[in-house]
């Protein structure tokens, strides 16, 4: 991999109270990629995220940004955090101000930008997450999903190169999930590296082009998009289950109901389209035979 934007090299971290966070953790996140960090609850995903922006410092091993080991001085960490944004799972733990606009302005203000620049970035970020109409409302009157979007806007306003999201879809209803998915697609098109921690295998199968699977603080496996369809039995063995789309595709193939495809479908919509295509062929066949 040519110069990954973020990498961990044999990182080990144990919390003060004794619980193990990460053990001998080595992984790389390619520039501009869509990486999914998968694992059950307690596998070390959040700990990993906190290492990527320098909040936690490994007791062994090193964390690299752009090929360079992290400098843990105050100024260097500030620069790192302007380039690596982290959106936590719980919005209540991130929102500092009761005003939406004020909270989103927190990040750019910390970067020392001029007020007019900060204002422009805030408006841009709020528009990107679809909250422009709610910018004047107090934070405590927003729904959970809207609060999550304020948190994302707060990080977007800093215009980082990498955005790490810890369980971004948890607690969101279907329309909000679709909106968030669209926002992530836009960010990806802009070349921003996205890292999402999740235990939702279906989402990862549809969205990610790189997978890292964590188990008990260790990296159990790392796979690229091309490898994933072939390694699904191993994924199941790791306790994460199997992506429903992959399972259905395999069964439909074995039953001979759809032809084998050069690229297996990764999303529900794609699989549905294939089934309908195959169905139309069958109907045409039967009609022709008559």
Partner 1 sequence: MLIESWAYCNRWRWVHPGAKGLLTLLAFISAFVATQPWFLFALALGLAMLTMVGAGIPLQYYLRVFVPPLGFLVIGAATLAISIRSTDSLWPVAIAWEPSQFPQVIRLCGRSLACLTALLFLAFTTPMTDLIALLRRLKMPAILLEIMTLGYRLVFVFLSAAQDITTAQKARLGYATVRAARRSLGNMVAVLAIQVWQRAAALERAALSRANDGPLLFLDNEFTGSRSCFAVSGAGGLTLLLLALLL
Which residues are at the interface with partner 1 (CB under 8 A)? 50, 53, 55, 74, 77-78, 81-82, 85-86, 88, 90, 92-99, 101-103, 105-111, 115, 118-119, 122, 136-141, 154-155, 158
**Nearest approach, Cβ of residue 129 and partner 1 (Å):** 16
Among residues 142, 195, 132, the alpha carbon closest in space to that of 171 is found at 142
CB of 77 or CB of 252, closer to partner 1? 77
CB of 49 or CB of 232, closer to partner 1? 49
**Nearest approach, Cβ of residue 215 and partner 1 (Å):** 24
CB of 42 or CB of 138, closer to partner 1? 138
CB of 9 or CB of 119, closer to partner 1? 119
**Nearest approach, Cβ of residue 121 and partner 1 (Å):** 10
d(C-alpha 19, C-alpha 17), whole Å: 6
d(C-alpha 50, C-alpha 255), whole Å: 46
**Nearest approach, Cβ of residue 197 and partner 1 (Å):** 14
DSSP the chain: --S-SEEEEEEEEE-TTS-EEEEEEEEEE-TT-EEEEE--TTSSHHHHHHHHTTSS--SEEEEEETTEEPP-SHHHHHHHHHHEEEE-S-GGGT--SSBHHHHHHHHHHHTT--HHHHHHHHHHHHHHTT-GGGTTSBGGGS-HHHHHHHHHHHHHTT--SEEEEESTTTT--HHHHHHHHHHHHHHHHTT-EEEEEES-HHHHHHH-SEEEEEETTEEEEEEETTTHHHHHHHHHHTTS---HHHHHHHHHHHTTSS---SS---SHHHHHHHHHHHHHHHHHHHHHH-
d(C-alpha 218, C-alpha 10), whole Å: 10
**Nearest approach, Cβ of residue 176 and partner 1 (Å):** 19
Q: Are 36 and 202 in contact (CB under 8 A)?
A: no
CB of 63 or CB of 204, closer to partner 1? 63
**Nearest approach, Cβ of residue 127 and partner 1 (Å):** 16
Which phi and psi (to 5°) does residue 40 adopt?
-70, 170
CB of 137 or CB of 250, closer to partner 1? 137
CB of 98 or CB of 273, closer to partner 1? 98
CB of 158 or CB of 201, closer to partner 1? 158
**Nearest approach, Cβ of residue 37 and partner 1 (Å):** 17
**Nearest approach, Cβ of residue 46 and partner 1 (Å):** 10
């Amino acid at each position: 991999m040519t110069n990954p934007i973020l990498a961990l090299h044999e990182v080990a971290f144990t919390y003060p109270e004794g619980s193990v966070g990460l053990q001998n953790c080595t992984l790389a996140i390619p520039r501009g990629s869509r990486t999914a960090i998968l694992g059950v609850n307690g596998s070390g995903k959040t700990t990993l995220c906190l290492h990527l922006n320098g909040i936690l410092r490994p007791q062994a091993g090193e964390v690299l940004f752009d090929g360079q080991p992290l400098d843990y001085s105050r100024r260097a960490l500030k620069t790192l955090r302007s380039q690596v944004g982290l959106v936590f799972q719980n919005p209540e733990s991130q929102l500092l101000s009761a005003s939406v606009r004020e909270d989103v302005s927190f990040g750019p203000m910390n970067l020392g930008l001029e007020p007019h620049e900060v204002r422009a970035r805030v408006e841009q970020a709020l528009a990107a997450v679809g909250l422009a109409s709610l910018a004047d409302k107090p934070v405590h009157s927003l729904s959970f999903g809207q609060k999550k979007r304020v948190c994302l806007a707060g990080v977007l306003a800093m215009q980082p190169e990498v955005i790490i999201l810890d369980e971004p879809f948890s607690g969101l209803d279907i329309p909000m999930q679709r909106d968030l998915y669209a926002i992530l697609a836009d960010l990806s098109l802009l070349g921003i590296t996205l890292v999402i921690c999740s235990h939702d295998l279906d989402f990862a199968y549809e969205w990610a082009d790189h997978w890292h699977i964590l188990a008990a603080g260790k990296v159990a496996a790392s796979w690229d998009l091309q490898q994933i369809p072939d390694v699904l039995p191993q994924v199941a063995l790791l306790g994460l289950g199997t992506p429903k789309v992959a399972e259905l595709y395999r069964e439909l193939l074995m039953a001979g109901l759809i032809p084998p495809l050069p690229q297996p479908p990764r999303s529900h919509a794609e699989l549905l389209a294939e089934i309908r295509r195959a169905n139309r062929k069958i109907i045409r066949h039967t009609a022709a035979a008559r």
